[in-house]
Structure 1
Amino acid sequence: MSVIELHDAYIMQDVNTVLQKVSFELEKGEFAYLVGRTGSGKSSLLKTLYADLPLGAGVGTVVGYPLQKLSLGKVPFLRRKLGIIFQDFQLLFDRTVAENLTFVLRATGWSGKAKIQQRISEVLMRVGLANSAAKMPHQLSGGEQQRVVIARALLNEPLLLLADEPTGNLDPDVADSIMRLFVEINNSGTAVLMATHNYQIIKQYPKRVLKCENGQLLDSARASVVLPE
């Protein structure tokens, strides 16, 4: 089963086409990197996949939802099957870690205090932050904040994680520990598409590479993709 299928897709940013004739599939449980220069279309592609930008043309399906016919009312249902990890964390800084996670669970239809608390304990344990539920985000390091963001993305047991530069603002050791966490999440069956500029990580953890270049998407599954040194 594919969690992403794009055929001849046109990725738009405002009225400009940033990528054209994009065709690729990502299978359930697969891991791929998304690379390319700033402005090459990586973020626009991710935003199209979680329906923040409309599909310009072509056909696209994400976790079973057709992008070209997706009504606004269906967007929350699509996103419940996705884990989205933003570059700038987007945590609520006036709430504790547990309150941040509770907010998302309630927004996605969870109820029952005990059930919510148990799910929060599970995801925090999974990302190595079992003792951080009562902390405020500013009491955490950058790496710990990123782990909270990953925990938040895992709350609804997504089929697919979309991550936009998740190690972008972290020093190499912390980036490596975050990357190991992604590999572990992927090994347990969640597909991952990760946009990154960190070519060191790609060398260390080699996986399939999708590269945005000159308006095209190159795929290492079909041809060799050259990474910058």
Structure 2
Amino acid sequence: MIENVIELHDATIMQEQQAVLQGVTFTLEKSAFAYLVGRTGSGKSSLLKTLYADLPLQSGTGSVAGFPLSRLSASKVPYLRRRLGIVFQDFQLLSDRSVAENLMFVLNATGWKGKAKKQQRISDVLTQVGLNGTANRMPHRLSGGEQQRVVIARAMLNEPVLLLADEPTGNLDPDVSDSIMQLFGEINNSGTAILMATHNFQLIEKYPHRVLTCKDGELLDSTKQR
């Protein structure tokens, strides 16, 4: 069993040939929740992209969901991503397809078989995020908060061990942000680890967890500064 869903040791995080973070060492345990904070350009998104293998790990060692990042072949990247859920700030839903079709697209792309099984999974994740009855609606007919819930449902389809969220409340008003945080809390309590990049310090105060801060080329860890 994987005890740590993320392990990085002395890692250098690159962004367009520039090292944005150096000497990055941290682990995230199964079922843990941590925030990732820092100014724009401090390396948050690059760190997340390294974790889901969109950017290569140039130096140091690391593994995510049991996959070694430094020697991960391109053919293995889809298998890593099946163990992850990824939530973006800009929803990236397919605008010409219904909610159910958006989710079906991911199930087909990740190799699910059996129509009934796929439909059941779609129903399960929509129930999980509180969106019963929206399967046949088009994304533009949903509010911003509902669209973000569809994105979270999409991220949960493959029962990930780790959810990576990049500013998931960035485009939402405070009440909706609250409801998304409560949903993340439920997902986390059911056993999925979460690493969430955010600028919203009010949310961090209201829902306190470990904080990893990108600052001056380093990653600072709130659990190590006490």
TM-score (structure 2 length as normaliser): 0.98
Aligned to 2:107: 105
Mapping of 1:5-44 within 5 angstroms? Answer: 5-44=7-46
Aligned to 1:207: 209
In 1, the alpha carbon distance for the partners of 2:92 and 2:140 equals: 13
Matched, 1:94 2:96: yes
Mapping of 1:39-50 within 5 angstroms? Answer: 39-50=41-52
Secondary structure of the residue that 2:70 maps to in structure 1?
helix
Aligned to 1:142: 144
In 1, the alpha carbon distance for the partners of 2:85 and 2:180 equals: 15
Mapping of 1:139-218 within 5 angstroms? Answer: 139-218=141-220
Matched letter for residue 54 of structure 2: D
Matched letter for residue 153 of structure 1: A
Aligned to 1:80: 82
Secondary structure of the residue that 1:9 maps to in structure 2?
strand
Cα deviation digits, residues 103-128 of structure 1 (max 9, x gap): 00000000111111000000000000
Matched letter for residue 69 of structure 1: R
Per-residue deviation, 1:14? 1.4
Matched letter for residue 112 of structure 2: W
Matched letter for residue 68 of structure 2: P
Matched letter for residue 83 of structure 1: G
Matched, 1:131 2:142: no
In 2, the alpha carbon distance for the partners of 1:55 and 1:183 equals: 30
In 1, the alpha carbon distance for the partners of 2:113 and 2:140 equals: 28
Matched letter for residue 14 of structure 1: E
Per-residue deviation, 1:164? 0.1
In 2, the alpha carbon distance for the partners of 1:21 and 1:66 equals: 17
Matched letter for residue 11 of structure 2: A
Unaligned runs of 5+ in 2: none
Secondary structure of the residue that 2:90 maps to in structure 1?
coil
Cα deviation digits, residues 30-87 of structure 1 (max 9, x gap): 0000000000000000000000000120001000000000000000000000000011
In 1, the alpha carbon distance for the partners of 2:171 and 2:124 equals: 26
Aligned to 1:117: 119
Per-residue deviation, 1:202? 0.3
In 2, the alpha carbon distance for the partners of 1:134 and 1:80 equals: 25
Deviation beyond 6 Å, 4+ runs, structure 1:
none
Secondary structure of the residue that 2:224 maps to in structure 1?
coil
Matched letter for residue 30 of structure 1: A
Secondary structure of the residue that 2:150 maps to in structure 1?
helix
In 2, the alpha carbon distance for the partners of 1:87 and 1:8 equals: 29
Matched letter for residue 29 of structure 1: S
Unaligned runs of 5+ in 1: 225-229
In 2, the alpha carbon distance for the partners of 1:155 and 1:118 equals: 11
Per-residue deviation, 1:90? 0.7
Identity of aligned residues (%): 74
In 1, the alpha carbon distance for the partners of 2:140 and 2:102 equals: 13
